[in-house]
Structure 1
């Protein structure tokens, strides 16, 4: 994870895959509810796992 990039753009959730809050919310709106499914919809795979908590927060509406 690139902490500097994440600090510079708070909408960036996954710096490994350039996945943003809007991308994740779009996946949730389409019915995805699992971390790996959200990445798969965008043709991506999780890498370092540092974003899992942030993705979970979005999934839980926090």
Structure 2
């Protein structure tokens, strides 16, 4: 995870894959509810796992 990049853009959730909040919301609207599924919709795979909690928060509407 690149904390500097994430700090500069609060909509950036996963710095390893350049996955943003709107990408995750798009996946949720598509019907995805699981961490790995959200990445798969965008042709990505989780890498370091630092974004798990942030993705979970978005999934839970936090």
TM-score of the superposition, structure 2-length normalised?
Answer: 1.00
User: Following superposition, which runs of at least 4 residues in structure 1 exceed 6 angstroms of deviation?
Assistant: none
Structure 2 counterpart of 1:31: 31
Structure 1 counterpart of 2:49: 49
Matches of 2:56 and 2:38, distance apart in 1:
11
Equivalent pairs, count: 62
Which digits, 9 at most, give the CA deviation of each residue in 1:14-38, with x for residues without a partner?
0000000000000000100000000
Q: What is the root-mean-square deviation of aligned Cα atoms in Å?
A: 0.2
TM-score of the superposition, structure 1-length normalised?
Answer: 1.00
- Structure 1 residue runs of 5 or longer lacking an equivalent are none
Shift of 1:44: 0.2
Structure 1 counterpart of 2:8: 8
SS in 2 for 1:48: coil
